[in-house]
Amino acid sequence: MKKLIALASISVLVVVGTACTNNSKADVAAHNLSVAAENFEVSRRIVFFNGITDKYLLTIEGRCSVQTANSALGGSLEVTCKTGPNEYKKHFLGLSDNVSYFVEQTEPVAVDAYHYRVIFRPDTIIPAIEIDKK
């Protein structure tokens, strides 16, 4: 329990310290939009296109989180979309020298340009403990 309290205290101090830095309103709004998007609150359209032929290869639309990763063979993209209250779909897409993508936010989202947004997830902070009754 003491470790949990210490972890929570350190987390709060890091957040407060980050919030006190001199960031522009645009930086704070951009950060808050990113947080909202990663919590499936932002509608997006992700379009993959061939840079040589200028043709669209794939379009994904919805409340989606986008993560990029680099590998030895080229980049990749992970797109996770919320499809229902507790339902998600995850797509893995490879990128090459002629295939690229762009992500468009399709609807405006109200975010506060004056305050940071912090979301605590108790199920992530507190581990699930199973008691073995022998």
State the Cα–Cα distance between residues 27 and 114, nearest whole angstrom: 10
CB 36 within 8 A of CB 111: yes
At residue 66, the pLDDT reads 92
Higher-pLDDT residue of 94 and 89 is: 89
pLDDT band at 123 (very low <50, low <70, confident <90, very high): low
pLDDT band at 124 (very low <50, low <70, confident <90, very high): low
Domain boundaries, the chain: 24-113
State the Cα–Cα distance between residues 81 and 85, nearest whole angstrom: 11
Of the candidate ranges 12-16, 17-21, 59-63, 86-90, the one whose mean pLDDT is the lowest: 12-16
